[in-house]
Amino acid sequence: MEPTLEDVKASFEEPGEKQDERFFIENEGQLEWAFRKIQEAQDDNDNQDKILAATKEYVEQHKKDNQKTIEYMRGLIADYAELKKLEEPDYEYKGVLGRLTWTKPKQTIVKADEEELIKQFEGTDLVEKKETVNIKWGDLKKDLAITPDGKVITSDGEVVSGVVVKDQPSTLAIKKRTEKGSWKEVK
Rounded to whole angstroms, how far apart are CA atoms 12 and 32?
Answer: 9
Has residue 175 been placed in a domain?
no
Quick one: pLDDT at residue 52?
94
Has residue 64 been placed in a domain?
yes
What is the average pLDDT across 162-182? 75
Has residue 182 been placed in a domain?
no
Residue 159 DSSP symbol: B
Compare 108 and 182 and report the one with higher pLDDT.
182
Rounded to whole angstroms, how far apart are CA atoms 11 and 34?
Answer: 8
Has residue 41 been placed in a domain?
yes
Has residue 160 been placed in a domain?
yes
Quick one: pLDDT at residue 68?
94
Q: What percent of the chain has pLDDT over 90?
A: 28
How many other CB atoms are found less than 10 A from the CB of residue 181? 6
**Is-above-0.85 flag for pTM?**
no
Has residue 180 been placed in a domain?
no
What is the average pLDDT across 152-180? 78
Q: What is the pLDDT of residues 18-53, one digit of tens each?
A: 456 788 999 999 999 999 999 999 999 999 999 999
The total of structural domains in the chain comes to: 1
The chain-wide mean pLDDT, for the chain, equals 82
Binned at pLDDT 50, 70 and 90, residue 163 comes out as: confident
Has residue 54 been placed in a domain?
yes
Quick one: pLDDT at residue 66?
94
Has residue 146 been placed in a domain?
yes
Query: Which range among 7-11, 40-44, 62-66 shows the weakest confidence by mean pLDDT?
Result: 7-11
For 106, the domain range is 5-12+24-164
Distances (CA, A) of 97 to 100, 134, 173: 11, 54, 60
